[in-house]
């Protein structure tokens, strides 16, 4: 499935976060959302990305952003990841890949001559009206918060 388009309504999703809490896009109506998809908890690049968002979380919140991470890892893995790195935002466990597929980020990947299906690291910036303002493909993990602010014109 292809990525949704900028300027169009963001696909409505529902999931469960690391605390077992139900979370949906509709929970953030009237707010700016940073919805970021990442391959796996506790891997080097995913950890860099999560920690960069954590380290800049106060600034992002001050600017009105809600941060939500999504991966195919389970709740238990997300909980350990959150605790280990003191992450202040929800991480949705999308084990059945429904949200990944809605957003077109479950794709064929190639690594060391091998092909497999996996998560394409992608961030969707969703405006207060539920429209996709910007899609950041292949974000720079150690500078992701800066990319988010720049993409939003902050």
Tens digits of residue pLDDT in 81-99: 999 999 999 999 999 999 9
**What's the pTM value of the predicted model, to 2 decimals?**
0.95
Residue 1 in this model has a pLDDT that exceeds 70: no
User: CATH classification of 40-125 is 3.40.30.10, yes or no?
Assistant: yes
pLDDT digits (tens, 9 = 90+) for 29-78: 999 999 999 999 999 999 999 999 999 999 999 999 999 999 999 999 99
Helix axes 75-85, 44-55, angle to 10 degrees: 60
* Residue 154: per-residue pLDDT: 67
* 51 assigned to active site: no
Tell me which residue of 28, 7, 20 sits closest to 93, measured CA to CA. 20
Cα–Cα dist 96/45, whole Å:
23
Q: Residue 71: how many CB atoms within 10 A of its CB?
A: 26
Number of CB atoms found within 10 A of residue 53's CB: 23
Q: How far apart are CA 88 and CA 90, in angstroms?
A: 7
Q: For residue 112, what pLDDT is reported?
A: 83
The backbone torsions φ and ψ at residue 14, rounded to the nearest 5 degrees and listed phi first, read -140, 140
- Among 46, 60, 67, 136, which one carries the catalytic annotation? 46
Find the helix or strand (DSSP H, E) in which 118 lies: strand 114-119
Domains of the chain, by residue range, sit at 40-125
What is the mean pLDDT of the segment spanning 105-134?
A: 92
């Amino acid at each position: 499935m292809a990525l949704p388009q900028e300027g169009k309504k963001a696909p409505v999703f529902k999931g469960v976060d690391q605390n077992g809490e139900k979370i949906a896009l509709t929970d953030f109506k009237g707010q700016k959302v940073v919805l970021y998809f990442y391959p796996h908890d506790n891997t080097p690049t995913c950890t860099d990305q999560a920690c960069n968002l954590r380290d800049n979380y106060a600034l992002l919140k001050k600017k009105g952003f809600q941060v939500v991470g999504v991966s195919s890892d389970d709740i238990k893995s997300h909980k350990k990841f959150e605790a280990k790195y003191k992450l202040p935002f929800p991480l949705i466990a999308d084990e059945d890949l429904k949200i990944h597929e809605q957003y077109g980020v479950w794709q064929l990947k190639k690594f060391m001559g091998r092909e497999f299906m996996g998560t394409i690291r992608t961030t969707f910036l969703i405006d207060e009206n539920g429209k996709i303002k910007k899609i950041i493909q292949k974000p720079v993990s150690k500078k992701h918060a800066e990319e988010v602010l720049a993409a939003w014109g902050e």
